[in-house]
């Protein structure tokens, strides 16, 4: 079974791209803000929440996305240790939602300490409810996952086989299919996790 969310392109980029940011701190550590920008654009496009994107949703472009990231920066400002907990992310995004007049969207954290089977169930549920999933990965033992270490990205789909469960991860203007089993088993006690969105 394969399920993917509808998504958006900005020029030739699959979603936004942190590499576009002109602010050096945002370019280095603005991944949390980038996911919040992309979720807001997704909600404006597909959930009729146009108030979450303060530009022309019918004309997505790189310049507006860069300006949007500057508006998101105060809510998820890069810091020395990064946005390294689910709670910091939730607090920042909740404040952005409040300031944008959004009262119905709720956020909760799903810790990386939870069992793999529960994580897969939540991914099925969120994607089934047409919600993208902000995902925080801290450390990881596998060199295959090196690109995603200490990084926020979005899960925007999944594919299930008899012998595996794969997730579609969107970041830096492209997407990657990853084994959830490998992604979830970081090999470290310091875990990240997922942000669950709902109404």
The predicted pLDDT at position 80 comes to 79
What pLDDT does residue 81 have?
80
Q: Tokens representing 54?
A: 């303060």
Q: Tell me the sheet residues that pair with 15.
A: 9
- DSSP element (H, E) containing 181: helix 180-184
Mean residue pLDDT across the chain: 96
Please say whether the beta carbons of 1 and 164 come within 8 A. Answer: no
User: How many Cβ atoms are within 10 Å of 99's Cβ, its own excluded?
Assistant: 11
- Only one residue has tokens 């084994």, namely 179
Torsion 59-60-61-67 (CA) sign: positive
Q: Which residue, 189, 148, 150, is CA-closest to 167?
A: 148
For residue 78, the model assigns a pLDDT of 86
Could you give the percent of the chain with pLDDT greater than 70? 100
Helices then strands, each counted (H, E), the chain = 6, 9
DSSP string, 88-106: HHHHHHHHHHHHTT--S-E
Instruction: Note the pLDDT of residue 134.
Output: 98
| Residue 196: HSE in the Cβ half-sphere, 13 Å Cα cutoff | 18
Tell me which residues of the chain have a pLDDT lower than 70. none
- What is the CATH T-level fold of the domain 2-198, as seen in this structure? Cathepsin B; Chain A (3.90.70)
**Whole-prediction pTM:** 0.97
Start-to-end CA distance of the chain, whole Å, equals 26
User: pLDDT, tens digit, for every residue of 141-187?
Assistant: 999 999 999 999 999 999 999 889 999 999 999 999 999 999 999 99
């Amino acid at each position: 079974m394969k399920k993917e969310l509808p998504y958006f392109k900005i020029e030739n980029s699959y979603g936004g791209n942190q590499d576009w940011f002109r602010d050096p701190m945002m370019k280095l550590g603005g991944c949390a803000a980038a996911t919040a920008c992309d979720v807001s654009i997704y909600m404006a496009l597909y959930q009729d929440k146009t108030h979450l994107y303060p530009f022309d949703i019918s004309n997505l472009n790189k310049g507006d996305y860069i300006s949007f990231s500057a508006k998101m920066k105060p809510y998820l400002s890069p810091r020395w240790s990064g946005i390294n907990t689910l709670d910091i992310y939730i607090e920042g995004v909740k404040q952005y939602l409040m300031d944008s007049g959004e009262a119905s969207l709720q956020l909760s954290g799903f810790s990386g300490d939870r069992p793999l089977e529960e994580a897969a169930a939540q991914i099925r549920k969120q994607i089934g409810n047409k919600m993208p999933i902000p995902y925080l990965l801290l450390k990881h033992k596998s060199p295959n996952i090196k690109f995603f270490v200490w990084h926020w990205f979005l899960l925007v789909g999944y594919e299930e086989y008899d012998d595996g469960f794969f997730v579609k991860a969107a970041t830096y203007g492209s997407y990657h299919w990853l084994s959830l089993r490998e992604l979830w088993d970081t090999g470290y006690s310091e875990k990240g996790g997922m942000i669950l969105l709902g109404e």
